Structure formats: C-alpha cells, structure tokens
Structure 1
Amino acid sequence: MSRNGKSMPMYAQIREYLLDGIEGGTWSGEEKLPSENELAEKFGVSRITIKKALDGLVEEGIVYRIQGKGSFVSENGKPRLYASDRLQHRKSFVWLLMPRVNNLFTSSILRGVERTLDEAGCKLMFSSTDDSPEKEKELLAEASELGVSGVIVYPAVGEAYNEDILRMALSPFPVVIIDRYLRGVETNCVCTDNVQSSYEAVKYLLELGHRSIAFVSSPVEGTTSLEDRLTGYEKALSEHLIPVDRSLIVEPFDEEKMERLLKEQPRITAVFACNNDIGLRVIKAAERAGRNIPERLSVLFFDDFENSEWFRIPPSCVVQQPEAIGREAASMMLRLIDNPGTPRQRVSLPAKLVVRESTSAPPGTTKTTV
C-alpha cells in the first residue's frame, strides 16, 4: 500500500489497496475486482470489513456493483449499465412503498414525492403493500436486488417495530419513513404533528361546550400516528380537568357498536374520529341512532376528502399536508443519498383545523354553529 497502513483502520487500508490497484492499472475500467470472499481471505478479515471498504469506493463512483455478479471498476467514474442487470447509476431510482393509493391523502403524498424526485433528475419506482406486513417484508427484501438508491416507506397499519424496516433504517442504506415513526428508535421520518393536531381539534370541541367526547379509531396500539392522536385527545381533556373515560374510546371501530353506544349514551355530544373513512361511518351510525348532525352530535375527524365541501353535511376536519409530507420525504432521501452520514432526523409538519357544518355547540347551549 502506498500510505501508512498501520495508522489506518483495516477497512481503510483495504480501500487504499484497491484504489492503488485501480490507479496502477492492476484493474482497469469495467474489469471485475476480486470477490468479497477472496479479499476477506487475503486480508484475514470479515466480509463486513470488505463491504465497508467497497462501499466507500462505490459512493465515490470509482466502483459499481451488479447484483449476483460482483464489483467492477467504473469507466470515467460512471458504471456501464445493462438493462438486464436492473441496476442504474447512483441516485437514478428511489422506491416508494405505500399501503395503497385510494384517497386524497395518499395520492397527494405520491405526487409530492414524484415531483421532488423528478426535479432532482431522480426516477420513482412505486409499489403497493396492500397494508400487508408480509408483502411489505417481501418487497423490502428485494430493495438491494433491484439496485435502488433508497426506499421511502409508508408502513402497513399496526407496525410498531417491523424488523425489516428497523434493520434497514439503522443501516447505512437510505431509508425514510413517512406518516409514522418507530417509537424509541432514531430513524429518518416525516409525519404530521399528530399530538398537537389532535389536541387542537379536541380543544375546539371543548371550547364549544362539549364535555363527553368519544374517540373512535382503527386499532391504535402499534401505529404511532394513532397513538399520538389518542395522546392529543387525552391531553386536551386533562387540561380542561375532564377525566378520560375509557368507555368513550372506541377501538377498533365498529359501526354497529357505535350505533348502540350513541343510543345508550345520550350524554355523548361529540365524536373525534382518527380518519375520514371512520368519521363518515360515524355520521351514518349517528343518523341510524336518531342523532342529527350537528344538532344532536358533533363529528370531527382527521383528513379531508375530495369535494368534501359539497358533501350533504360538509365536515369539520383536521387537514394534513400530504403533498408537503411527500416533498419533505423525497428531499430527505436526496440528502441521504448525497451524504449517507447525515444525522437521522424526524420532521413533524403542522396540520390545520377546518371548521364546517358537522360541528356545533351541544344541545341546550346558546352557542351557534361555528
């Protein structure tokens, strides 16, 4: 080696050995380097050490990899590509995994990611996980085989610690999580400030005069966005000196159960729902229970929907910034690709409370619809 190897970490010494060989003509452009096993045997180290040495050369564009074939010397710093290899130049492809794209929220996230990557000259690959942890796991396992530069993932519902996401998120490979985060683990993620947004929504209902407010949701445990919305609900009640009544927390949501609850509990004057699908189903259940909206029940929920102002009861809702979430996630991914050593960060974006006609003061008060 041409430099003082004794003062350098082993992976750095191996990097210098390979670099000297490339510069000296031992391996020329497009020529295959010794395999990781061969290098590990030669230097008496693990393959992890060899991989770390090669990763640095790949990052600099001096070496490129073809899955299943090995590592090769780049020509003029740019790898020669073959369509059959399903591998493109660094920063050319980012993979977005989402449960589905069937509403305004998810389609806006997709649009934000796509536009930001396109502006940077980066291509987007998209796959739906159908909200299946098993399918999500299979797709994540393919990430390295596809040769993508990074993965943006909107996790399947109910995942506190998907081991595959966690493993990737803690590795040098660029991963950005959207909509939720892995509690207690530092990962790159972009989401709504669900605690504060939920707090503001319930605070608004309390200021209208409501005191018995139900919280309805899909299963909360394991989905940090829903856990945080429940936290915001409880925080608002606590600050108004109202004890949290667990009988008013309905999860998982069931429309028939909601109808029975509204019939049996006339004291409930408002419902805060975790998303628009459940919120609209609460309105149906309320009407079957003889509760007119908003005269006898106020309903407020997370997420707007297309043309909601023309709905027969224009809903009050918490409006997130899905396109901004997508843009920020894509921008974070581009920064990670450019600089894999960037410290992990969590970005929380504010949401806006939009008041329409599904909320008003409770019966018996003099306040009018806000």
Structure 2
Amino acid sequence: MKQKITNSYIIKDITPKYYKLKKLLLENIQNNVYPPNSRLPSEEELMRKYNITRGTIDRAIHELIREGVIYTIQGKGRFVLPKKQVLEQTNKPFQINNNRIVFIMVSILDEFYGPILKGVMDVLQPEGYNLEIVNSEGKYMNETKLLSKYLKEPISGLIFIPSFSENNYKHLFQLQNRGVTIILIDNRIKGYNFNFVGSDNINGTKDAISYLIKLGHKQIVFLGRLDHNINNSSTIERLEGYKQALLENKIYLNPNLILRDEPQDKKYKNFEERAYIKVKRFLSKNIKFTAIFTANDVLGAYQALKEKNIKVPNDVSIVTFDDSKICKYFEVPLTAVKQDGYHIGYYSAKLLLKKIDSKMNKKNRYNDKPEEIILKTKLIIRKSVKKIN
C-alpha cells in the first residue's frame, strides 16, 4: 500500500483489489479486448492471471452486472453487453448540481466538530459552492432519512460524518452511482470504500500509552465506546493502538482492563453516563490498575473515580483522547491526545473538490481511486499523570 507522508498528514492509496479488477475489465471492454457479446475469462482464469481470490472476483463481477456492463448466462459464463448498451451505462451524464455541497454532521454545536466545519467552509465558500449543513444528532434513522432525501435532489458532493461503523448505508452507493462525490470524516463504515479523512487514532493512542509506560505504568485501563453489537471505527483504532503499545513494550494484555458496554448499559443514552457506570462497575471488582486511558468520555470516568475518593494523579493517572477546552481548565489539567479538527475539515473539502474536478471528465468515472487522508495527532502533557516506581 503506497503512502505519501507530509508534515501534517498521510495520503494512502486504499483502492481495494476488487475495484482494480473492475477498472481493468472495464478498460478492456471499452478498448475492445473483450468485444460485444464475447465471453469474459472464467473465475479460475482470472484467479491465476491476477493472483486474486474468488471473493474479489465475485464482487467486481457483481458490480459490473449491477451497472449493466456485462450479463450472465447460466452454465456458460459472463458476457459483454452490446456496445451501445455499455456506452449508455458508462457514459450517463452525472445528475448533479455543480454548486451544491451537503455536509451531514453528528452535532453542529459540539466542540470537536466546530473546527471541522470551519475548515470545510474556508475551502468551499471562496470557490462559490453552496454549503448545506444538516445535523443527524448521531441517530441512524436521521442519517438514512437525510441520505434518502438527497437521492431525490441534485447535489454534487457529500461530506458525511457517520455515527456507526457497522450499519447499512446503502444510500451512499446509490448516491455514488449517480455521480455524487462522497467524503467520510472521522468514522469509517465497514465494507465500504469511500474517500476518508480522519485522525491517526492508532499512533495517537500508542503515543499516549507509551508515555504512561515510560512513567512506570503497566496496569492501564482502556475505556471507550465498545458496544457488543455496534462499534465506532475510531474507538476500534484507538483500542488497536493501546494493544500495539502494550505488545511493543512486552506488557501482558489483560482483557479485564478493557471496559466494554454491557447490555444493560444501553438504557443510558448519554455516553458520559455510560462511562461513569462502566468505571463504577470496574472499581467494584477491585482489579489492580494505576492509570486509565479514555478513548472517549473522560468526565464520566473522572466522576466515578472522585466518588470513590480516588485522586488524580496521586492514586490513578488519566490520559484522554481529544484535547477539548475542558482538559486545559479541569480541576486537574488533563494530559490529552490533540486532534487537528480544522485540517480534518480543510482537507476533506480539498479532497472533495479534487474528486469533483476529476469527475467532470467522463472518462475518469471508473478511474477515480478512493483516497484516505490521515492527520497526525499530538500528545499534550499536563498534570494528570504521575510517575511511579
């Protein structure tokens, strides 16, 4: 996987293998390597020629069938549609409005998302785009309603902060097939390959855990939004960073120190309240620990410690991900991993415009590779961590 590393962010070519195969087959069809009504190579032939799996081939073929480029004859194979029909499918004009961009946010007023919005606006407004900002409130039903709405209206681009990683967002595929450029921010969606911009959650967490380890901590609790059914990709990445830091320092990964949601926790709609409940439940087990890393929701964790008269940092150290304003002015200023929200928004908008410009050339409709921009984080050291022997 190729990476381009700059001072501020990393660009990765995340083009999946199935998409590369699909693009190759399309080019061969358009260049008459596979003429109309000719039979495509069998799965076995494609597997041998390109050293890919059957699953990769099935996905590429399924998309070409769905897009009306090839067809199947049971027992005989896959065949190329007549050229006229292929051109009708591949050269459809984009049903877009070149000046309208939609930004679906989780929360417009949240401190983390404000700088992201400013970054987006600073790029799009000087270019003359009409930016429409809507709030999903982090609810899947709201997200699907909004996405369905924009399927019926002309837009040229969508910047979307999804609330869930494992839900079905089929409307995104439908929007993409209409020629709408899609950029995901902060949270990936499992099984989907769209352009993405976010923070380096893995290395940001590794830096935080390594800092704790350097100061003598080995029993480090991980607290995050880890639901048994639905997980947030940023939290999963932070958990991976936690695991990697322990492994690299040859510290035993104690599963009892990873705090997950229990089924009964769902009744608490506020995430800070859930964090408070999880830490209270953990403290009742009398498991030894010296530090807590909170991937989210540090206030709930701090309150649970305070009620048990556990002092930070004298008794327990705390590091949190995301350096909100409260971290600096807290009663014990909190050491935190700082994200660059402004540039997440800025580069999201820049990438969006780049992709829109590329799509203006119809020849690039199937050649446009999804890109991923990952911004580096910074560990801000304050007074919530104590060195231990």
* 3-state SS of 1:146 partner: coil
Determine if contact 2:159/2:348 at 8 Å carries over to the other structure. yes
After TM superposition, give the deviation of residue 133 of structure 1 in Å.
Answer: 1.4
* 3-state SS of 2:152 partner: helix
CA distance in structure 1 between the aligned counterparts of 2:299 and 2:134, rounded to whole angstroms: 28
Which residue of structure 2 lines up, in the alignment, with residue 225 of structure 1? 234
Q: Deviations over 1:51-109 (max 9, x none)?
A: 64341xx6xxxxxx6xxxxxxxxxxxxxxxxxxxxx8xx43111000111232211111
After TM superposition, give the deviation of residue 359 of structure 1 in Å.
Answer: 1.3
Are the structure 2 counterparts of residues 352 and 181 from structure 1 closer, same or farther at C-alpha, using a change threshold of 3 Å? same
1:261 aligns with 2:261: no
Q: Deviations over 1:246-298 (max 9, x none)?
A: 111112244233124235436211011112xx111111111111210111011
Q: Which runs of 5+ in 1 are unaligned?
A: 1-6, 10-42, 59-64, 66-86, 366-370
Q: Deviations over 1:314-349 (max 9, x none)?
A: 111111011100011101111111112332111111
Identical residues among aligned pairs (%):
25
Which of 175, 179, 187 does residue 180 from structure 1 map onto? 187
After TM superposition, give the deviation of residue 166 of structure 1 in Å.
Answer: 4.7
1:196 aligns with 2:203: yes
After TM superposition, give the deviation of residue 138 of structure 1 in Å.
Answer: 1.4
Determine if contact 1:154/1:179 at 8 Å carries over to the other structure. yes
CA distance in structure 2 between the aligned counterparts of 1:170 and 1:269, rounded to whole angstroms: 51
Determine if contact 1:160/1:224 at 8 Å carries over to the other structure. no
1:150 aligns with 2:157: yes
1:302 aligns with 2:309: no
Q: Letter of the aligned partner of 1:317 in structure 2?
A: A
Which of 242, 245, 248 does residue 254 from structure 2 map onto? 245
After TM superposition, give the deviation of residue 132 of structure 1 in Å.
Answer: 1.3
User: TM-score, normalized by length of structure 2?
Assistant: 0.69
Are the structure 2 counterparts of residues 283 and 222 from structure 1 closer, same or farther at C-alpha, using a change threshold of 3 Å? closer
After TM superposition, give the deviation of residue 159 of structure 1 in Å.
Answer: 3.3
CA distance in structure 2 between the aligned counterparts of 1:223 and 1:117, rounded to whole angstroms: 28
Q: Deviations over 1:220-245 (max 9, x none)?
A: 55422111110000000111111211
* 3-state SS of 2:128 partner: coil
CA distance in structure 1 between the aligned counterparts of 2:165 and 2:156, rounded to whole angstroms: 27
CA distance in structure 1 between the aligned counterparts of 2:83 and 2:248, rounded to whole angstroms: 63
After TM superposition, give the deviation of residue 309 of structure 1 in Å.
Answer: 1.9
Which residue of structure 2 lines up, in the alignment, with residue 312 of structure 1? 331
Structure 1 residues 340-355: aligned runs within 5 Å: 340=359, 341=364, 342-355=368-381
Determine if contact 1:169/1:188 at 8 Å carries over to the other structure. no
Determine if contact 2:275/2:300 at 8 Å carries over to the other structure. no
After TM superposition, give the deviation of residue 163 of structure 1 in Å.
Answer: 2.8
Determine if contact 2:101/2:155 at 8 Å carries over to the other structure. yes
The count of residues paired between Structure 1 and Structure 2 equals 290
Q: Letter of the aligned partner of 2:91 in structure 1?
A: A
Determine if contact 2:222/2:293 at 8 Å carries over to the other structure. yes
Q: Letter of the aligned partner of 2:342 in structure 1?
A: E
1:96 aligns with 2:85: no
Q: Which runs of 5+ in 2 are unaligned?
A: 1-29, 33-81, 262-273
After TM superposition, give the deviation of residue 180 of structure 1 in Å.
Answer: 2.2
* 3-state SS of 2:91 partner: helix
Which structure ranks higher in relative contact order (CA pairs < 8 Å, sequence separation ≥ 6)? 2
Q: Letter of the aligned partner of 1:259 in structure 2?
A: K
After TM superposition, give the deviation of residue 161 of structure 1 in Å.
Answer: 5.0
Structure number, greater radius of gyration: 1
User: TM-score, normalized by length of structure 1?
Assistant: 0.72
Are the structure 2 counterparts of residues 168 and 224 from structure 1 closer, same or farther at C-alpha, using a change threshold of 3 Å? farther
Q: Letter of the aligned partner of 2:341 in structure 1?
A: P
Choose 305-314 or 117-126, whichever is displaced more.
305-314
CA distance in structure 2 between the aligned counterparts of 1:309 and 1:361, rounded to whole angstroms: 20
After TM superposition, give the deviation of residue 137 of structure 1 in Å.
Answer: 1.1
Quote the RMSD (CA, aligned, Å).
2.5
